[in-house]
Every structure is written in C-alpha cells, then in structure tokens.
C-alpha cells in the first residue's frame, strides 16, 4: 500500500502535467515514434497514459500504443508511408510518474521503519491472557474483528463466539462481555483467568493524515536529492530548469523540504514493536 498517490505528490509540489499539442514525432523505427518532450505522464491519474495521448498520421487519427513513457515512445499499429507526418497531443513532465512511484515506495519504507508500524490493513491473530478484568488490548489498531475465542489457560476451548464490544479501535481495546478474570471460583477459590484468541483486520482503513503528509514530504525530498546529484555530477541544469525558474529557487525548495523531513522524523510516533 503506497499511502499516497502520484497525484498527491504532484499536487503538493505543483508538478502538474504539461500539455504538448500537435508535436511532430520523430521516427525511430517502422512503427516506432518518439515525442520531442518526455517522459509522458498520466494526466487524469487513472493509471493509464494511452487515453491521455492522441496520435495523428497526416492529420487523421491513428491507432497506437504508448511503449515507453519514460522515453516518449509510441508505436503505431501499422507503418505509415515514408513521407507521412506523425503528430501527437500528450502530457509530459521532467519528473516521471515512475520516478514519483519509486520515491513514494522509499518514503513508505522509511515511515514504517521510523514508526515500527505498517499502516496497510493486514489480518492478524493474537493470543492474549487475561488475569484481571475483561478488557484486552491488541498490538495494532483494529479495523474489524473476524473472530474471538475464549480458552482456559490449559488450552480448552470455552466459547468460540463470545459477545464483545470494541471500546477504542485506534488503541485496540476490546471488552469481553460475560467473562471477568480475577474472580475467585470454586472449588479452590483461585482467581479465574482465561486466554483470548482474536483474529482481526489490523491497521487503518485509511492511513492517518500525519502518515500521508510524511510520505509526501519524504518522497519530495528523495526526488529533489536526485536532481541535486544530477547537477553536481553532470553540471546539467536543463531538467531542473523545467521545474524551477532559477538554481536559487531549487536550493531554497530543497532546504525547506530538508528541514520539513527532519521535523517530521522527530515527530512521528515511535512504537516498540518491530515490523513483522
């Protein structure tokens, strides 16, 4: 689970798809053509790029497939004539959708490592011994409960469908009705105890806002660092200049995002449990 999507990262940074109209494509093979601007990107964020591109051969609509959005390559379904002019309308941006997705994946990994918690829903089974009262606390937040069973401490099934109520989903607190541990029982009047086996959907149906914000900021930082390395190693400001007006603007943005990353790293809640 990515926690955020490409649209959210683009929206936060103003990296919106750039339209290109009536661009004359360069022939790279019998049916393969290349746009003058690339990477091609998903304008409507529906997971497909083909529907955001229109290709024409000598002004007439043509059937095609986007073969490599990173390099702006489209393939026609049939080869046009040698003198045919192939043009296209499309959307592009120097920061590709794949680059943003990779940055999001890295950001999610860092957030999970820092917090020691996976926020994506997962099925978990836990056994919890209760010696006092009738409340249990799961290790993770509860989305929904699949089953609860009550066992004696020696493993005998007592009830395979007890009544219960969820008191706090985020903290994982459940009250088991009709059972209470710590009450002396016959014949030896020893305090009663039992074990609860609970299977539940753990995590969050939707990640908390602070997690989403952290992922967007971290992903932005990773992308800007890549731009910075490109400038240092290649002394090439071409791609960066398409996104930032001046080198100074890029530097200011990078410094701001860096400070936000450090601030968020210090504020993210830390859990003692390790990720499975």
DSSP state of 208: -
Q: Are residue 136 and residue 190 in the same domain, yes or no?
A: yes
Q: Smallest Cα–Cα separation from 168: which of 140, 126, 194, 128?
A: 140
Q: What pLDDT does residue 274 have?
A: 42
103 with 174, same domain? Answer: no
Q: pLDDT tens digits for the chain (276 residues)?
A: 789 999 999 999 999 999 999 999 999 999 999 999 999 999 999 999 999 999 999 999 999 999 999 999 999 999 999 999 999 999 999 999 999 999 999 999 999 999 988 888 999 999 999 999 999 999 999 999 999 999 999 999 999 999 999 999 989 999 999 888 988 766 544 558 999 999 999 988 888 999 999 999 999 999 999 888 766 544 445 555 556 667 778 888 889 999 999 999 999 988 654 444
Residue that terminates a domain, selected from 170, 202, 234: 202
Is 77 found in the same domain as 30? Answer: yes
Q: For residue 267, with 0-12 CB atoms within 10 Å meaning exposed, 13-18 middle and 19 or more buried, which class applies? A: exposed
Helix (H, G, I), strand (E, B) or coil at 40: strand
Are 80 and 139 in a shared domain? Answer: no
88 and 135: one domain?
no
* Domain shared by 134 and 81, yes or no: no
Among 184, 202, 220, where does a domain finish?
A: 202
Listed residue (203, 130, 123, 197) closest to 161, CA to CA: 197
- Give the bridge partners for 142, in sequence order: 202
Does 191 fall in a domain? yes
**What's the rounded Cα separation, in Å, for the pair 97 and 5?**
10
3-state secondary structure of 121: coil
104 Cβ contact partners less than 8 Å away, ≥ 6 residues apart: 2, 3, 4, 5, 6, 9, 215, 219
Do 103 and 63 lie in one domain? The reply is no
What sign results for the dihedral spanned by CA atoms 32, 35, 38, 44? negative
The count of domains in the chain is 3
Burial class (CB in 10 A: 0-12, 13-18, 19+), 245: exposed
Note the pTM of the prediction, 2 decimals.
Answer: 0.78
Sign of CA dihedral 33, 35, 40, 46: negative
Please answer whether residues 261 and 216 qualify as being in contact, where contact means their C-beta atoms are separated by less than 8 angstroms.
no
Environment class of 40 (CB within 10 Å of its CB; exposed 0-12, middle 13-18, buried 19+): buried
Residue range of the domain that includes 161: 122-202
Q: Which of 202, 225, 246 is the last residue of a domain?
A: 202
Same domain? 149 vs 45 = no
Same domain membership, residue 211 and residue 147 = no
Examine the domain organization and report whether 105 and 65 are in the same domain. Answer: no
Specify if 11 maps to a domain: no
Within 10 angstroms of residue 166's Cβ, the number of other Cβ atoms is 13
Claim to verify: residue 21 and residue 86 sit in the same structural domain: yes
Task: Let me know if residue 9 belongs to a domain.
Answer: no
């Amino acid at each position: 689970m990515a926690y955020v999507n490409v649209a959210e990262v683009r929206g936060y940074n103003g990296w919106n798809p750039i339209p290109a109209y009536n661009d004359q494509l360069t022939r790279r093979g019998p049916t393969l053509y290349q746009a003058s601007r690339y990477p091609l990107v998903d304008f409507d964020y529906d997971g497909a790029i083909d529907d955001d591109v229109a290709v024409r051969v000598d002004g007439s609509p043509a059937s095609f497939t986007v073969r490599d959005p990173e390099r702006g390559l489209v393939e026609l379904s049939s080869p046009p004539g040698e003198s045919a002019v192939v043009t296209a309308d499309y959307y592009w941006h120097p920061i590709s959708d794949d680059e943003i997705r990779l940055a999001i994946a890295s950001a999610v990994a860092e957030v999970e490592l820092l917090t020691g918690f996976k926020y994506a829903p997962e099925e978990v089974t836990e056994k919890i011994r209760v010696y006092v009262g009738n409340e249990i606390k799961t290790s993770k937040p509860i989305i929904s409960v699949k089953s609860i069973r009550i066992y004696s401490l020696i493993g005998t099934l007592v009830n395979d469908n007890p009544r219960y109520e969820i008191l706090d989903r985020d903290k994982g607190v459940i009250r088991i009705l009709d059972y209470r541990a710590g009450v002396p029982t016959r014949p030896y009047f020893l305090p009663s105890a039992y074990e609860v086996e609970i299977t539940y959907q753990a995590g969050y149906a939707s990640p908390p806002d602070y997690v989403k914000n952290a992922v967007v900021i971290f992903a932005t930082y990773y992308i800007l660092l890549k731009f910075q390395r490109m400038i240092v190693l290649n002394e090439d400001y071409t791609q960066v200049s398409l996104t930032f007006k001046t080198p100074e603007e890029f530097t200011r943005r990078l410094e701001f995002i860096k400070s936000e990353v450090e601030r968020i790293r210090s504020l993210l809640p830390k859990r003692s449990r390790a990720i499975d």
